[in-house]
Every structure is written in C-alpha cells, then in structure tokens.
Amino acid sequence: MKIEGQTIVVTGGASGIGLAMARRLLDLKADVWVLDRDREAIAEVTRTFAGNDAFHPRLCDVGDELQVARAVSDIDAASQGIDALVNNAAVLHDQALVSKLGGKIKQHSLDDWQDTLCSNLTGTFLMAREVAATMIRDKRHGVIVNISSISRAGNPGQSAYAATKAGVDALTVTWSQELACYGIRVVAIAPGFVETSMTKRIPPMFLDRIQERTPLKRFGTGDELAHALQFVLENEYVNGKTIEVDGGLRF
C-alpha cells in the first residue's frame, strides 16, 4: 500500500508507540486520525500538531461500542474512506494472580482484569469490525494492523495483558483468512520492551533484569516500531503473521 495520501486510523495514538507511529505516518504524508480515551493526552497532541491539516485527534474509548461506531462512521464520511487501521490502544495493570505479602493474601483485581480485556481485546475487535465493514462496503482494499506484545507468550505479573495479547494474535490469523477475499490484509506487530510511559511504571530492578536478558542489551524505541509499521503497510504480501520487534528477547 502506498502510504502517501492514505487515510489511516491509529488508536491509542496520543502517546507512546501510537504517537510515534502517527508521527511517522504524517512524515510519509498520510492523513492520520488519532483516537484516544486520555483527554489530557488528546489535548496535548492537539496543541503539538496545531496547524497540520493531515492530523485529526479525537477522544474515543475503543471499548465503547457506540463511541467506536460513531468515530469510524464520522472518519469514513469525512475522508471518503479508511485505508488502514492501527489497533494500538491498550492498558496494562501489573499484578500477580495471587500473592502473599506481609502475611496477607492479595488477589488479582477483577476490575483491572475487565478493564484490560475491554481495552485490549474488545477494543481491537470493535475497531476492526467497524473499519472492515466500511472497507467492504466501499469496495476498498485496506490493512488492519494489530499491536500484540512479547507478553503474548506469558509473563509473570501480567495475566490479563498476556491473555489479551495472545487473543490479538489469534484474531489476526482469523481475520486475515476471513477478510483476504475483500482485499483486506491483517497483520500483527509484537513489540518487546519499548521506552514508553507504560514501561516507566515497571519497577527499575525488573527493567534492568529485562534489559540484561535482551541480546541487544537495550530497549526498543517508538521510531523502530513505527518503521515496522511502515514495512507492514507497504509490503502487500505480508498477511496473517505476527512481526516480532523485540531485540531477540524471549521469556
């Protein structure tokens, strides 16, 4: 797919990896719609890209069916069609299934479990469903890129996050087979540890250990993930696979 002039939606695009991807797409002269549920982050990127007519920020919770349907419908109408979707929006609530600290048993919060599934899995499903429907209706070939994670193989303290990212991988394969007949490719990108606000919440001692175990001895950057997105969008024969960008790290 030629990126220049294409309409591309990036969820969770107001910060972290999503923002790095949005920046690269803008540099490549795409028309970029950023959806995010973080009101402050949306306000910040709105100020940052003020005056750039190719940048369109919108407040949207991808786990809310009505908000997603309205957002996709509005974007489709305003742009005469959506060419690509980057399903990046995700939350992370680090906690063990059950732990014992100071003699007290602590259990994984159901609210955090539900919030993670709603954002990471349901949100991915809702966005893909609505965008694919517009592509099919408009007879428009396109690409759906799901952001997975190295944690999809399982990672201590990340029950909900790991489960959702494994689910994202399964959805990627499923949708790639269902949508190919309409000219829609579906691909996943699985980052390793990347320097973002999400990883900053992880205890430094744990991060040091992970960095030491990574063969390249460093974390990835948002720009390196954005470069992987560019490859996936431009290469028309990549479909149904998860592209790992993790510095060689394995749990």
Catalytic residue among 49, 161, 193, 219: 161
DSSP, residue by residue, 21-60:
HHHHHHHTT-EEEEEES-HHHHHHHHHHTTT-TTEEEEE-
Closest by alpha carbon to 202, among 91, 113, 110, 92?
Answer: 92
* 59 backbone dihedrals φ, ψ, rounded to 5°: -75, 125
- DSSP 3-state assignment of 164? helix
How many helices and strands, by DSSP H and E, does the chain display? 8, 9
- DSSP 3-state assignment of 139? coil
Is 161 considered catalytic here?
Answer: yes
Active-site residue set: 161
